[in-house]
Amino acid sequence: MAVLKTEIRSGVYYDSAKLMQLQRILADLPGVEDAGVVMGTESNKEILTHIDLVTPEVKSATTNDLVIVVRAENDKAAATAIGSVDEILSRRKEGSGEFRPRSLETAIQNLPDARWVLISVAGRFAAALAKDALSNGKHVFLFSDNVSVEEEIELKSIASQKGLLVMGPDCGTAIIKGACLGFANKVPAGPIGVVAAAGTGLQQVTSRIAQLGSGITHGIGTGGRDLSEKVGAVTFKMAVEVLSRDLETKVIVMVSKPPAPKIAEEMIKVALRAGKPVVVNFVSYRPSTTQRDNLWFATGMDDAARLAVELAKNPPTLVDDQELKLERFAKGQRYLRGLFSGGTLAYEAQHILADYLPRVYANAPINKENKMANSMASTEHSIIDLGEDEFTVGRLHPMMDNELRIRRLYEEAKDPDVAVIMMDVVIGYGSHPDPASELAPAIKTVIDEAEKAKRHLEVITVVTGTDDDPQTLKNQIKQLKDAGAWVSTSNEEVCRYAGRILRGLNAEATPTPTATQVDLASLQADVSGINIGLESFYENLKAQNVPAVHVEWSPPAGDNEKLKGILERMKAKQS
């Protein structure tokens, strides 16, 4: 009959590695069947219950209690095990004769060049240490979880004023100039920079990049909560921004667990300003397309790695909004009018333009809230499908009869706020025998009249058809181009060209960034670090030949919460 024996210790602190070590040693003692060594949280108590390590004392333990419980063959074995706890806990690793400061301050004196402080103590102590590190001008890798969101917001507010990165809390992974912080993989140096609100996300993407034969400049973790609305992606934005200034970084990859939708859109805007290819992979985020502007949307982490490696190898020519020559337009010209004969082309145009404009009205809208109040009168950005039933009762379809569209074209062109008019020209059997012969002169007229009025009207047309059609594609394109229209046979190309012009004409002044920029030199310098918490992180730095100091930290006031509170308040008064 198995015997359970429990010991509860209050107000003590050991790091989790120490506790795991104790548990394993206890479980391996003769006569011991199983052992549990954990803090007395509800979920840990549930686990202990689940694996038959529960006693009344375990049940009444609290979060601040260290619970030690063994299940043994007999009383003696159980008692011996529990009796040896103190001796096991006092064992020290051999050969660690090096200097071990007991405070961050001393550690900094010891290694003043260290720009990175790694913190992995229990969550309730982590924020105070991180604040100390920031006030000393250090970037913080904050592995600890169970740090409150309020503390995270405060830390990141301080950091953004100082141009420092707070990676975390609950940040598992970072690779800075080849040095692995926390959980990270040895990845070759290369042209790809990764920013991740996703610990294993960063590991998976960087590992796949290495497996594909490429490498990275930096892998910057932010902590999973960084892309929540509350935190507002402070670290993520600063990280993307500094990588966009880093000439070594040719491609940026953004990785995240499911972000808040609003924050995802903000990150897209930040990425659009990066000036280099950015691969976006937000889990469960469904983009409208796979590529636009300087953005490539990946379907997953492995696809993100593949895309980044490919883009780094074959740098794409990025679209340049200078080519749009926005200066041609008069002040106030900013609206789109789409005059379509093809319903699907009109729908797809709305879908694509949503990437560029906050709202496009339509008589056949994709979203009901964008329904035009009156199909006869356009407002702001409007797309009218003149092939809709409302226009075709007892009247020929606009692909056969251009009259209604031409009337509308003249009308829209008179509106001084209109900058772009989009039209489709669909040829083939059934359609008008030569639509361009009627549309092109009208297009020429409205362009000329706008010019007379000191405006510029961009008329953009998509032509659908083939050269085997009775009207021939070539012939239609030529007539439209001669009239001054911008022509393509790709609806997507036409819509994105229009979208970029309109985005440019409707751009709000870029808001002044609130964060101080991260000093690029601090990322490019060789890493040295100060470690507080899990000793293995320190050992990993040493194993990588990264200069490092480990702080032999213990909680203030021996983890007596009340006393600690008094000390904190005293400290606050002093400063």
- Residues 435-464 touching a copy of itself, rule: CB under 8 A, are 464
Residue 44 binding a copy of itself, by CB under 8 A: yes
Q: What is the DSSP string of 234-262?
A: HHHHHHHHHHHH-TT--EEEEEESS--HH
Tokens representing 22 are: 């104790």
Q: Contacting a copy of itself (CB under 8 A), which of 3, 100, 111, 183?
A: 183
Tokens representing 566 are: 């008094």
Task: Report the candidate in 563, 554, 565, 558 with the shortest Cα–Cα distance to residue 9.
Answer: 558
Spatial separation of the C-alpha atoms in residues 227 and 205, rounded to whole Å: 18
Q: Contacting a copy of itself (CB under 8 A), which of 28, 46, 265, 415?
A: 46
Task: Report the candidate in 362, 367, 356 with the shortest Cα–Cα distance to residue 379.
Answer: 362
Task: Tell me the site size for a copy of itself, rule CB under 8 A.
Answer: 112
Which span (69-77, 178-186, 238-246, 440-448) binds a copy of itself, by CB under 8 A? 178-186
Q: Contacting a copy of itself (CB under 8 A), which of 33, 73, 438, 493?
A: 493
**Stretch 197-226 residues interacting with a copy of itself (CB under 8 A):** 198-204, 207-208, 210-211, 224
Residue type, 67: V
Which span (1-9, 38-46, 240-248, 443-451) binds a copy of itself, by CB under 8 A? 38-46
Q: Contacting a copy of itself (CB under 8 A), which of 3, 7, 11, 17?
A: 17
Residue 420 CB, nearest approach to a copy of itself (Å): 19
Task: Report the candidate in 171, 175, 121, 131 with the shortest Cα–Cα distance to residue 153.
Answer: 131
Q: Contacting a copy of itself (CB under 8 A), which of 137, 188, 316, 558?
A: 188
CB within 8 Å of 278: residues ≥ 6 apart: 240, 251, 252, 253, 254, 271, 294, 295, 296
Question: Going residue by residue from 137 to 176, which x/- string records binding to a copy of itself, judged by CB under 8 A?
Answer: --------xx-----------------------x-xx---
Q: Contacting a copy of itself (CB under 8 A), which of 416, 428, 484, 555?
A: 428
**Stretch 336-355 residues interacting with a copy of itself (CB under 8 A):** 341-345, 347-348, 351-352
Residue 183 CB, nearest approach to a copy of itself (Å): 4
**Stretch 18-37 residues interacting with a copy of itself (CB under 8 A):** 19-20, 23
Residue 82 CB, nearest approach to a copy of itself (Å): 18
Residue 301 binding a copy of itself, by CB under 8 A: yes
**Stretch 302-321 residues interacting with a copy of itself (CB under 8 A):** 302-303
* Residue 179 backbone phi and psi in degrees, to 5: -90, 125
Residue 51 binding a copy of itself, by CB under 8 A: yes
Spatial separation of the C-alpha atoms in residues 2 and 32, rounded to whole Å: 9
The three-state DSSP-derived secondary structure of 313-369 is HCCCCCCCHHHHCHHHCCCCCCEEEEEECCHHHHHHHHHHHCCCCCCCEECCCCCHH
**Stretch 73-132 residues interacting with a copy of itself (CB under 8 A):** 122-123
Residue 186 CB, nearest approach to a copy of itself (Å): 4
Which span (106-114, 155-163, 269-277, 385-393) binds a copy of itself, by CB under 8 A? 385-393
- Of residues 297 and 329, the one with the C-beta less far from a copy of itself: 297
As a dihedral over the C-alpha atoms of residue 291, residue 294, residue 297, residue 303, rounded to 10 degrees, the angle is 110
Residue 187 binding a copy of itself, by CB under 8 A: yes
Q: Distance between the two ends of the chain, CA-based, in angstroms?
A: 60
Cis amide leading into 259 (omega within 30): no
Q: Contacting a copy of itself (CB under 8 A), which of 189, 400, 453, 563?
A: 400
Residue 349 CA, distance from chain mean position:
27
Task: Report the candidate in 344, 414, 417, 355 with the shortest Cα–Cα distance to residue 383.
Answer: 344
